[in-house]
Copies of this chain bind each other. A is one copy, B any other.
Amino acid sequence: MRASVGDIAALVAGEVIGDPERLITGISSLQEAKEGDITFLANPRYAPFLLETRASAVLLGAAQPQIRERSGAPTQIVVANADFAFARVVNAYGPRSEPPPAGIHPTAVIGERVRLGKELRIGPYVVIGDGAEIGDGTTIHAQVYIGAETVLGADCVLYPQVVIRERVRLGARVILHPGAVIGADGFGYASVQGVHHKIPQVGTVEIADDVEIGAATTIDRARFGCTRIGKGTKIDNLVQIAHNVEIGAGCLVVAQVGIAGSTRIGNYVVLAGQVGIAGHVVIGDQAVVTAKSGVSKDVPPRTVVRGAPAQENKAAQILEVAMRRLPGTQQQVKELLARVAELERRLGELGGSR
């Protein structure tokens, strides 16, 4: 890349503190930046590196007067959201992941009655079932499987070795990372005299616009009806979403979370890493479940819960403090027992009535 600090500031609507003519030729982190790079500060934990970075420019949320003292200090570009501004710079000037070439690779096996949109990119050894529909501008990398009558919206990206089974519906701009599995059978059996009879899973999965789903994440099809993922929700790697779960819009579901069957997650909910949610519960809008928690009951909207079993954050903190004090409490009880026995002995000698 070659851009002036001023050009970049214009792109991100930022205020320049320093020389707007400085030339930027690369993109890097605070710690690894070399002269000519632009970097950013979003997490205050890394603020001390501002004093050492060799970057020529830095995007940040508030001007840092002290760093201007140092010779060679980076020019500051002050923006509302440094993460977002930096993302825009990388999108505009950074390296791009090369998609497969335009068109359909001759080895792709395309079923009958498939409706293919315009400007598709379909890689080698892709398999698309009968009656599927692929929206305009969608990219399907090598070795992907798309089941019969599955519908993909426009401008989706399916990375290599994604599996989507039959009759699943995806909106526009959905991104699926390698190894994601959408629409496998839910886990359901009717157990009769020691035999687990498979319950047919004849429903499907509906994924709204702008959803992103991580590598090797599994989203099961519904028993009937739909497993649903709402608009703009982002799901990390190795997440399990069981049959008939419904997740609202704008949620963040971090790696290795598991959500059991028929649970309903509201809008803008955050589930941190390795959280487990039992079946048939309701998590309210904007609730936050901290990492590794196990939720077995409904969570009200705008509530932070933690622990296993999960409870409200404040109650959990009180309990954690109490537990840390527990060995001391037990020592106090031991001493109290001795002191009370001594009091009883002395009082006995004094002859208090019983």
Chain A residues in contact with chain B, CB under 8 A?
A: 27-29, 32, 43, 45, 80-81, 83-84, 86-87, 90-91, 94-95, 97-98, 105, 107, 109, 123-125, 127, 129-130, 141-143, 145, 148, 159-161, 163, 165-166, 175, 177-179, 181, 184-185, 187-190, 192, 194-200, 202, 212, 214-216, 218, 220, 223-225, 232, 234, 236-238, 240, 242, 250, 252, 254-256, 258, 260, 268, 273-274, 276, 278, 280, 291-292, 294, 296, 308-309, 318-320, 322-327, 329-330, 332-333, 336-337, 339-340, 342-344, 346-347, 349-350, 352-354
Which of B105, B255, B276, B327 is in CB contact (< 8 Å) with A258?
B255
A347 to chain B, nearest CB (A): 6
Given contacts A125-B125, A175-B198, 4 further A-B contacts (CB under 8 A): A83-B199, A336-B336, A339-B344, A350-B350
A37 (CB) vs chain B CBs: closest residue:
B224
Distance between Cα atoms of A296 and B273 in the complex (Å): 12
- Do residues A347 and B343 form an inter-chain contact, with CB atoms below 8 A? yes
**Chain B positions within 8 Å of A309 at CB level:** 320
Q: A127-B142, A216-B216, A278-B291 are in contact. Are A27 and B319 (CB under 8 A)?
A: no
Distance between Cα atoms of A285 and B294 in the complex (Å): 26
**Chain B positions within 8 Å of A254 at CB level:** 187, 260
A158 to chain B, nearest CB (A): 12
Which of B28, B94, B141 is in CB contact (< 8 Å) with A225?
B28
Distance between Cα atoms of A90 and B32 in the complex (Å): 46
Q: A330-B322, A344-B343 are in contact. Are A294 and B274 (CB under 8 A)?
A: yes
- Do residues A224 and B45 form an inter-chain contact, with CB atoms below 8 A? no
Point out which of A27, A330, A354 has the most chain B C-beta atoms below 10 A from its C-beta: A330
A195 (CB) vs chain B CBs: closest residue:
B232
- Do residues B354 and A97 form an inter-chain contact, with CB atoms below 8 A? no
Interface of A is mostly: loop
**Chain B positions within 8 Å of A129 at CB level:** 98
**Chain B positions within 8 Å of A184 at CB level:** 159, 177-178, 214-215, 237
Q: A127-B125, A218-B214, A347-B352 are in contact. Are A166 and B98 (CB under 8 A)?
A: yes
- Do residues B198 and A87 form an inter-chain contact, with CB atoms below 8 A? yes
A149 to chain B, nearest CB (A): 9
A80 (CB) vs chain B CBs: closest residue:
B192
- Do residues B187 and A163 form an inter-chain contact, with CB atoms below 8 A? no
Q: A329-B333, A336-B333 are in contact. Are A352 and B350 (CB under 8 A)?
A: yes
A39 (CB) vs chain B CBs: closest residue:
B224
Point out which of A224, A232, A344 has the most chain B C-beta atoms below 10 A from its C-beta: A224
Which of B130, B190, B202, B278 is in CB contact (< 8 Å) with A84?
B190
**Chain B positions within 8 Å of A250 at CB level:** 194-196
A132 to chain B, nearest CB (A): 12
Distance between Cα atoms of A148 and B195 in the complex (Å): 32
- Do residues A238 and B240 form an inter-chain contact, with CB atoms below 8 A? yes
A353 to chain B, nearest CB (A): 6
